[in-house]
Amino acid sequence: MVSKGFLGRKSGKGFYIYQEGVKNKSLNSDMDSILESLKVPPKPDVSSDEDVQYRLVTRFVNEAALCLQEGILATPTEGDIGAVFGLGFPPCLGGPFRFVDLYGAQKVVDRLRKYEAAYGKQFTPCQLLIDHANSSTKKFYQ
């Protein structure tokens, strides 16, 4: 964008075309080629509707577990309540820790590993989830 002179308001162009004295801005059609070159084709083995949903949920769950592991959260209950009421985690899933207990830590870790292979380290499961997956008796809620 910079090499094409698309610097935003100061150059009059960016994602939008800015005109002095005009409040409404229009899309910059010259951006189409840039955006097209940055498109990443979907990976068919992890792009079903179900996979998209689980990519969102498992990443969220992994981050919550990492917060518990690092002492940012004192209890799983804190994480579940905060996630549902503060961050929009689906209430029907009960929060990230309740979800792990109901769905199964091993299944969560397996999905994270699948997504890690396709998308990279942002899906690497945290040690706490791995520990729960390795022991079928470990639960966040007894």
pLDDT in tens, 9-33: 888 888 888 888 888 888 888 888 8
For the beta carbon of residue 50, count every other beta carbon within 10 angstroms: 9
- Tell me: pLDDT of 41 over 80: no
Backbone angles phi, psi at 7, to 5 degrees: -105, 10
Quote the pTM value. Answer: 0.70
Alpha helices in 19-121 (DSSP H): 31-38, 49-69, 76-86, 96-103, 105-119
- Residue 112's pLDDT band, with cuts at 50, 70 and 90, is very high
Domains by residue range for the chain, with CATH: 1-39 (no CATH), 44-134 (1.10.1040.50)
Specify the pLDDT at position 66.
Answer: 98
- Tell me: pLDDT of 34 over 90: no
Question: How are the residues of the chain apportioned to helix, strand and coil, as percentages rounded to the nearest 5?
Answer: 55, 5, 40
Specify the pLDDT at position 10.
Answer: 86
Provide the token pair at 66. 């990492």
Give me the mean pLDDT over the 38-52 stretch: 79
- Residue 74's pLDDT band, with cuts at 50, 70 and 90, is very high
Residue 49, amino acid:
D
Q: Is 82 exposed, middle or buried (0-12, 13-18, 19+ CB in 10 A)?
A: middle
Specify the pLDDT at position 68.
Answer: 98
